[in-house]
């Protein structure tokens, strides 16, 4: 699967940084693939769009504010790393962009070399770095 298909531009001002005080004011984007339309509603109206037999999937994950910008040690190519979850010790499950440039043994440098990361085969199998 080409995960770049899921990339899109989202202006910073549209990214929620904290939960709304009034959760009932949360917005709901309704896509109608048959009509090709997009409607903006409030989440309290979600039952208007659910029908018997539908499956509602809830995402209760939390994002760490840990996005690192670095470069590959050997080529200098820019690499973005989003830390998702600490596995153990200094090992992290990560999302990397562009992922196709990072392979086992790749070393990524951050902060003028003050921090470095290495991609290991075990972490790649786990869907990490």
SS3 of 10-35: CCHHHCCCCCCCCHHHCEEEEEECCC
pLDDT attached to residue 78: 94
Asked if 40 and 28 touch (Cβ cutoff 8 Å), the reply is: yes
The pTM (predicted TM-score) of the whole model is 0.51
Dig out the tokens for 75 from the structure: 């080529």
Structural domain spans, the chain:
3-48, 67-125
Best CA proximity match to 70, nearest among 3, 4, 11, 118: 118
- Residue 18 clears pLDDT 90, i.e. is over it: no
Q: What is the largest CA-CA distance in the chain?
A: 56
Q: Which two tokens stand for residue 66?
A: 């840990």
Report residue 127's pLDDT band, with 50, 70 and 90 as the boundaries. Answer: very low
pLDDT of residue 53: 95
Residue 48, pLDDT > 90, answer: yes
What is the average pLDDT score of the chain?
Answer: 83
Q: So what CATH class is 67-125?
A: mainly beta
Is residue 91 scored above 70 in pLDDT? Answer: yes
Task: Report H helices in the chain.
Answer: 121-125
């Amino acid at each position: 699967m080409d995960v770049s298909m899921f990339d899109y531009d989202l202006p910073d001002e549209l990214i929620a940084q904290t939960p709304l005080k009034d959760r009932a004011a949360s917005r709901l984007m309704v896509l109608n693939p048959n009509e090709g339309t997009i409607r903006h509603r409030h989440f309290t109206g979600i039952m208007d769009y659910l029908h018997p037999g539908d499956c509602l999937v809830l995402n209760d994950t939390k994002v760490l504010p840990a996005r690192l910008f670095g470069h590959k040690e050997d080529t200098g190519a820019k690499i973005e790393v989003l830390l998702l979850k600490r596995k153990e010790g200094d090992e992290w499950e990560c999302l990397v962009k562009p992922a196709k440039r990072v392979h086992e043994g790749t070393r990524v440098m951050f902060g003028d070399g003050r921090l470095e990361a290495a991609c290991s085969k075990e972490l790649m199998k786990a869907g990490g770095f």
